[in-house]
Amino acid sequence: MEPFLSVFDSSPDGGRGLARDMPVRWALEEAGRPYQVRRLSFAALKEPEHLARQPFGQIPAYEEDGLVLFESGAIVLHVAEGCPTLLPTDRAARARAITWVFAAVNTVEPPVWDYDMAGFFDRGRPWQHERAAVLEAALRTRLGQLAQHLGDAEWLEGTFTAGDLMMICVLRRIEDAPLMADYPALAAYIRRGEARPAFQRAFAAQRALLDAKA
């Protein structure tokens, strides 16, 4: 049976593919695994039926042959099992790919998220600019370190893995931010990820839900 992926019924980001079903969709496409979607309203996310799948009332949730998973990183790693592109068979390379999945969600995403959210939630506050400067400095530290590691390489570990997939999904949130002009290698890295046919298919699939609503 095809797995089910719970997604927002209506894309809150206008089809930009920034919600966390996107890395799972992308991983499924890289793995060549067809899937079905369970479209949920914000209200349905908080109902017991969905809370049984996702204890925090969020998307994504993933169902496959009686197995129910949540947390986009964990789902990506599960889908990546048996897909040597996403998780190399070599033990060390596999461990490094997993390391980068954690680095994406645990080390790079927090400053990306804080910086991006402050643009909305801090607007008009007396301390807005002071906080923005602190958040931007923290983000620049991480982006600089990541760019340093990437250097001239195409991918974080030589070949594309689940680590790149997750990192690129995280970075896409700020791909249009003016500060990205100072990190051309990262901007090119994001574009390389987005150019992958599997990404394109995943992006089109989430976008199609929006178009169907219009």
DSSP string, 136-183: HHHHHHHHHHHHHHHTT-SSTBSB--HHHHHHHHHHHTTTTSGGGGG-
If one asks whether residue 209 binds ligand GTB (CB under 6 A), the answer comes out as no
Q: Is residue 146 close enough to count as binding ligand GTB by CB under 6 A?
A: no
- Of the pair 71, 175, the CB lying nearest ligand GTB is at 71
- Does residue 58 touch ligand GTB according to CB under 6 A? yes
Q: Which is nearer to ligand GTB, 60 or 163 (CB)?
A: 60
Q: Is 59 a residue that touches ligand GTB (CB under 6 A)?
A: yes
Which H or E element spans position 97? helix 91-102
Partner residues linked to 37 by β-bridges: 5
What is the radius of gyration, based on Cα positions, of the chain?
A: 17
Q: Between helices 109-121 and 128-150, what is the axis angle to 10°? A: 150
13 binds ligand GTB (CB under 6 A): yes
Under the binding rule (CB under 6 A), the answer on residue 18 touching ligand GTB is: yes
Q: Is 182 in the site for ligand GTB (CB under 6 A)?
A: no
- Least separation in angstroms between residue 130's CB and ligand GTB is 25
Name the pairing type of β-strands 61-64 and 67-70: antiparallel
> Does 45 interact with ligand GTB (rule: CB under 6 A)?
yes
Q: Which residue of 57, 122, 159, 180 would you call a contact of ligand GTB, by CB under 6 A?
A: 57
